[in-house]
Amino acid sequence: MAAPKVLTVVQARMGSSRLPNKILLPLAGQPLLVRMVERVQRAVLAGTVVVATTTDPADDAVAACCAAHGLNCFRGHALDLLDRHYQAARHYGADVVLKIPSDCPLIDPFVIDEVVKFYFDFAERYDFVSNLHPATFPDGNDVEVMPFKALETAWREAKRPLEREHTTPFFWENPDRFRVGNVTWDTGQNFSMSHRWTIDYPEDYAFIGAVYDALYNQNPAFGLDDVLQLTAQRPDIAQLNSHLAGVNWYRNHLNELRTVDPTQTRVL
């Protein structure tokens, strides 16, 4: 029996009201998106990695960046990310789909492998696996894994706008229908609301740029522990975006989400 075909989808677009064109900002001499995909590709279990952008003309720049750097690129719906993920999975003939947002340029490949391995080890037990429900890793290590058949079910049945826009809420918002598995950080700690390693604001870019400046040249494969050690030694770096810790997309949908509460986000 052939091994399941794994597709990792990195969703990316140019539009960002808080930090325009953030995915193409320079990071260690290359566009941020390229550096992030580099990290994802280091994961042994990531399979085929594809950047899924939109058909909007503004995202021609994303497609051009992918072409220039030899990255797989798929273009789909601008706002219906569930459809974009589904169509990309169909196009690549995926059996298993990983969802990773493009605002995670510090994602640790070992975390990706840990979540994917958990999915395969317990594939008969779970329909959807992530490290986000509840989250414990530093924010910006987001990994969600689902079989294509489950993704197809969500694509066919999900109706609420937030389910289409954010791709996966249909799974974890319907625990009576889907068996949801979660991977927690093996340290027993929860840094999800205190350590912000994602990019959405200029201060995030300053933080991530400082981390890359300090670590990338010595070790391009630096990981989660290296970042923690750096920020412990250099509190000036940690403080660059510490006031934004805990801010995420949940804050805009607390009145709609059934399984997320105010302790899992923070409003500015």
Please give the average per-residue pLDDT across 117-130, as a whole number.
97
Task: Please check the confidence at residue 1 and state whether its pLDDT lies above 80.
Answer: no
Tokens of 69: 């750097």
- pLDDT tens, position by position, 177-215: 999 999 999 999 999 999 999 999 999 999 999 999 999
By CB atoms closer than 10 A (0-12, 13-18, 19+), residue 207 is: buried
- 133-164 per-position pLDDT tens digit: 999 999 999 999 999 999 999 999 999 999 99
pLDDT at 267: 87
What are the backbone dihedrals phi and psi of residue 108, each rounded to the nearest 5 degrees, phi first? -90, 120
Question: Against a cut of 0.95, is the pTM above it?
Answer: yes
Mean pLDDT computed over 244-255: 94
Q: Which domains, from first to last, does the chain contain?
A: 6-192+244-258 (3.90.550.10)
Question: 3-state class of 182 per DSSP?
Answer: strand
Q: Are 229 and 237 in contact (CB under 8 A)?
A: no
pLDDT in tens, 19-78: 989 999 999 999 999 999 999 999 999 999 999 999 999 999 999 999 999 999 999 999
pLDDT score of 10 more than 80: yes
Pairwise CA distance, residues 113 & 168, whole Å: 20
